[in-house]
Amino acid sequence: MILRYIGRRLLYLIPTFFILSFIVFTLVRLIPGDPVMAIAGPDSTPEVLQEMREALGLDRPVANQYLVYLKGLFKGDLGTSLRTHQPVWIEIGLRFSSTVELAAAGMMVSLFVGITLGVLAALRPGNWLDAFTRLISLFGVSSPTFWTGLLFVLAFGYYWRLFPIAGSGTIWHLVLPAATVSLTSLAFITRLTRASLIEVFSQDYVQTARAKGASPVRVIIHHSLQNALIAPLTVAGLEFGRLVSGVIVIETIFAWPGIGKLLIEAIQFRDWPVIQGLILTFALLFAVVNLIVDILYAVIDPRIRLD
């Protein structure tokens, strides 16, 4: 059943991927600026610019360029970077692991802290801890990521000097960017876990378990949390896709060598093939994460069928 569902979802993904490739290919060419001018420099002669356009295939009609690009996609070729002359998949591959590392660390922080705070807040609605978690959620939802990142840099990196503020290489370099990128997701997961648990606690089967003398820990873990995690899991899947594609600002602030920083560099140099490859990579990751979340639904709650 699950394998058939996965196969069907992957088949649906193929036409979606190619439709997206057409949209991205078209929109990228609407970006102001000439990539040849960005590479050659403003002092280049018209003859040199024309030679470069011919060499890069940019002198052809847009429809012809797209057909060539589409033919390459069928072969797994995302094109060649206009700036470095390296295959796009190599450019992405060199930085892909760094972005996934950052997004995974942020998601782990969001899930662990968010579910923990949500459970504690649901146990005693209206007490000081519940008010504290709501304050954290409000701060996480309303604070712009770039502002939070700069605040963490100033507080923990510049004034208190607890963590490095730029680069990568050690786990300490990961602390500030992971904390920054996890804050919004943490807020959503905390609020959803709290709301879901409060609703589950009122169900008859939970009241029956309590009446039979089940311990509070067993009531939470075995009877309540499993059903209450469906909504937070949905948000976690969507948030992980957002984290992977939304770490652009974070990677720029903390000089984290991921694909978000690569996208900024590609936009600055009008590197169309890299921009296209990165957007398609983000879309593919988002689709795969959503598929994994749908499968986890059936694992957590056997009542859910994957048809």
Q: What is the C-alpha separation between 232 and 134, in angstroms, rounded?
A: 16
Better-scored residue on pLDDT, 182 or 235: 182
Of the candidate ranges 97-101, 149-153, 165-169, 214-218, the one whose mean pLDDT is the lowest: 214-218
With a pLDDT cut of 90, the percent of the chain lying above it is 18
User: Domain 88-300, what fold?
Assistant: MetI-like fold (1.10.3720)
Residue with tokens 């712009």: 144
Dihedral Cα 64, 65, 68, 74, nearest 10 deg: -120
Long-range pairs for 8-13: beta carbons < 8 A, 24 or more residues apart: 9/291, 9/294, 10/291, 13/284, 13/287
In this prediction, residue 304 has a pLDDT band, given cuts at 50, 70 and 90, of low
Residue with the bigger pLDDT between 235 and 21: it is: 21
Residue 27 backbone phi and psi in degrees, to 5: -70, -35
The predicted pLDDT at position 1 comes to 63
Which residue type sits at 186? L
In the chain, the percentage of residues whose pLDDT exceeds 70 is 94
Return the bridge partners of 70, or none: none
Tell me the domain boundaries of the chain. 88-300
The reported pLDDT for the residue numbered 282 is 84
What average pLDDT does the segment 220-224 reach? 77
* Tokens (6 digits) for 87: 């295959």
Q: Write down the pLDDT at residue 31.
A: 80
pLDDT at 155 over 90: yes
Mean pLDDT of the chain: 85
User: Would you state the structure tokens that stand for residue 120, as one six-digit string?
Assistant: 């504690």
- The pLDDT tens digits for 54-94 are 888 888 888 899 999 989 988 888 989 988 889 999 999 98
Q: Quick one: pLDDT at residue 254?
A: 92
Q: Which of 298, 292, 297, 304 is nearest to 6 (CA)?
A: 292
Closest Cα to residue 173, out of 181, 182, 160, 164? 164
